[in-house]
Structure 1
Amino acid sequence: MGTSASKLAILDIVLNGLMRRYKERVPDVGIILDAMVSDGIVKSTSDIENDHIAFRTMGVPQLGVKSFEKIFLHFGYEKRDHYFFEGKKLDAWWYSPPRATDPRIFVSELRVGDLSEESQHIIHSYTNEVTVDGIATDPVDYLDLDNGEAVDAFLHQPLWRTPTTADYQSLLQESEYAAWVIYNRYYLNHFTISVHNLPEGYNTVASFNDFLEKHGIKLNTSGGKIKVSPDGGLLQSSTVAEMLDAEFANGEKLRISGSYVEFAERKVLPEFASLPAGEIKRKHRRDGFEAGNADKIFESTYTTQTGR
C-alpha cells in the first residue's frame, strides 16, 4: 500500500523545513554545495541525492525513538534494522523511505539508564519538563501530523529549558552525545550526500574527499577518513561538526559542536554487477547501515575531532 499524495506533500514540507534550517546553521553545507556547482560536478544543488538524515534522542519514557519515530512512520517510512553501540551507550534504528527520492532516516537514542546517577539526574531534570498538565506525556501524541508546518516547528522547538553551562559540561565529561542532545535537541544532526551517482572523478568517497579537502573542508579522522563496512559495500566519510557560539541559561556562552555533513558511497550489489550503469537504481545498491562505520561517524561532534 502506497503513501497518499497528500501525506507525501506534507512530508516534503517537513523535509524542506529541516534542510532549510540545517543549511542556515551549518555553513559547510553551503560551501560544499556551492563548490559542487561551481566545479561543474552538478548543474544545480537539486541534482544532489540525499542518502540519509540523522537525529539524536534521549531514551526516557515519554521521548526517545518510540516517540520520535511516530512522525516519520506516519509519512510512510518503515522501521528496519537495530544497531547497538555499547561504548557510547546508544541504540539506533534506520527507516526506509516511502519514495526512492527521499532520504533514509537514522535515529539514535541515548540509553540514559546506563549513565551515572549524576548524569541521569541532570538529564531527567530537563526531560521531566516535557509534560501535559503536569503529567509526563509524549508530545508527539499532541502534534497534528497532517500539518507540515506544525511538524517542522516541533522539530525545531525546545522541548525543555535552555541548559546551564555547568550541566552541559558535566554531561560532556561522561557522554558527549548526551551533551549534544541536551543543547541541540532534535536539530538535524547531519545530512548525507550520495557520491556514487556523481560524475566520474567524484563518485567515490576517496575522490570526493580529495575535492572537499581542496576546498578547505576538515574531515573526521576517527577510524580513518574513510569508514568501510566489512562487506566493502558501504563507504562513508564526514566533516567535523561546525562549532557554534551557543547561548546557555543566564546568558552564559560556550563554543560547542553543532551539526556536520556526511558522504556515502553505496556499491552495486553483486547480483546486479552486470547491469549497465544507466540502469542502476537505488534498489540495486547496498542498503542499510553499518554499526562500525556509524560508531566513528558519531564522533564528528566529539571534542577529539572538533578540537583538532
Structure 2
Amino acid sequence: MTPDSLFTALWQDYTTRLCPSAWRVHELLQENEPLINDHIALRTFNLPQVGLEIVAQPFLRLGYIAKGHYQFEQKMLRAQHFEHPNPKLPKVFISELEVNRCSEALQKIVRSLVSHVKPDMVTDVDFLYGGRLWPISLEQYYLLAEESEYAAWVAAHGYGANHFTVSVNQLSRFNQVAEVNAYLHQHGFVINAAGGEVKGSPELFLEQSSTMADRVVVEFDEAELLVPGGFYEFAKRYPMANGMLYPGFVEASADKIFESTHHQR
C-alpha cells in the first residue's frame, strides 16, 4: 500500500462511517485545486495490544518519521505527530488515553474490551480504518462517557480518522480561519467553541478550528445509538523565523480540539 492509497481508504471510512458531513464541507470549500489535507488524527488506548506505537507502525513503514510529543494532563492523554519526507503528504497525529491513570472501573472496562484484540488483528494496515475490534454494551459505553468522553469514543468507534483537516493556507477565498468559520456557520454547521472558535494565534504559528462532530449510528450489544463521530478541522500555519511554515501542534489548542467529539449538552 502507498501513502496515497492509505489516505484514500481512511477518507472513505471517515466520510461513510464517522463524518458524512465532510462531503458537504468539501463541496463548500473546494476551489480549482483539490483541497490540501494538513493532517489526520487517530485515537487509541495506551495498552500493549493497541498503543500509540502499534497505531504508528503502518505509517512508519510508509516512511513517516516521529516528530513532536504532546501531553494533555487534564484529559490524561499523550500524543505524538508524524511527518513524511514528502511535504505534500498529510501529517499524522496519534493520541492515546493513559488508561493506568484512570479509575479502576474505567480500567476494568477498557482492558476487557482490548482483550479481544489479537496481534494478527493489528498487523495489516487495514485495521487503521477498520473500526471497532471488540463488542461493547450500552452500559459500558455510558460508564466510560461519565469519566472520559475520549475513552467512550474509542470504545464505540475503534479505529479510523476522527478528523481530516483543510489547509486554510491553500484557500484563495478565505485568508483567515475565522472567515472559514463564519462561512460554515452560514451553511448550518456548528463550530467547536471550547476555548474560542479560533484556537491558537499567529504568535503561536498555528490557528485551528473545527466543526462539532456528526452524530452517527453505532451498533452496541443491545441496540443502535446515535453518538458523536468524526469532525472536520481547519488549520492555518504561519512562517517561523526561518521562513518555513510551523510544522507542529499547539497543546493548548489541540486540547480544545479534542472536545469536538464531546456530547453537545
State the TM bucket, normalised to the shorter chain: over 0.9
CA RMSD after TM alignment: 1.6
The residue that corresponds to 2:249 in the other structure is 289
Query: Which whole-Å CA distance do the structure 2 matches of 1:230 and 1:167 have between them?
Result: 42
Query: Which whole-Å CA distance do the structure 1 matches of 2:183 and 2:76 have between them?
Result: 34
Query: Which whole-Å CA distance do the structure 1 matches of 2:235 and 2:56 have between them?
Result: 23
Matched, 1:264 2:256: no
4+ runs deviating over 6 angstroms: none
Query: Which whole-Å CA distance do the structure 2 matches of 1:138 and 1:235 have between them?
Result: 39
Query: Which whole-Å CA distance do the structure 1 matches of 2:75 and 2:117 have between them?
Result: 25
- What is the correspondence of 1:75-90 to structure 2 with a 5 Å cutoff? 75-90=62-77
Q: Which of these residues, 51, 61, 84, is aligned with residue 48 of structure 2? A: 61
- SS of 1:67's partner is helix
Q: Which of these residues, 7, 20, 26, is aligned with residue 27 of structure 1? A: 20
Q: Which of these residues, 14, 18, 36, is aligned with residue 10 of structure 2? A: 18
Deviations 1:83-117 (A, max 9, x none): 11010000000001231111000000000001111
Q: Which of these residues, 28, 32, 36, is aligned with residue 29 of structure 2? A: 36
The residue that corresponds to 2:209 in the other structure is 237
- SS of 2:217's partner is strand
- What is the correspondence of 1:101-140 to structure 2 with a 5 Å cutoff? 101-131=88-118, 137=119, 139-140=121-122
- SS of 1:98's partner is coil
Structure 1: gaps spanning 5 or more residues = 1-8, 132-136, 144-150, 273-283
Query: Which whole-Å CA distance do the structure 2 matches of 1:177 and 1:265 have between them?
Result: 25
Cα contact 1:229–1:292 (8 A) shared by 2: no
The residue that corresponds to 1:207 in the other structure is 179
Cα contact 1:28–1:217 (8 A) shared by 2: no
- SS of 2:41's partner is strand
Residue 167 (structure 1) shift: 0.1
Matched, 1:191 2:164: yes
- TM-score of the aligned structures, taking structure 1 as reference length: 0.82
Residue 13 (structure 1) shift: 1.3
The residue that corresponds to 2:150 in the other structure is 177
- TM-score of the aligned structures, taking structure 2 as reference length: 0.94
Q: 1:138 to 1:81 in 2, by over 3 A?
A: farther
Structure 2: gaps spanning 5 or more residues = none
Query: Which whole-Å CA distance do the structure 2 matches of 1:71 and 1:291 have between them?
Result: 25
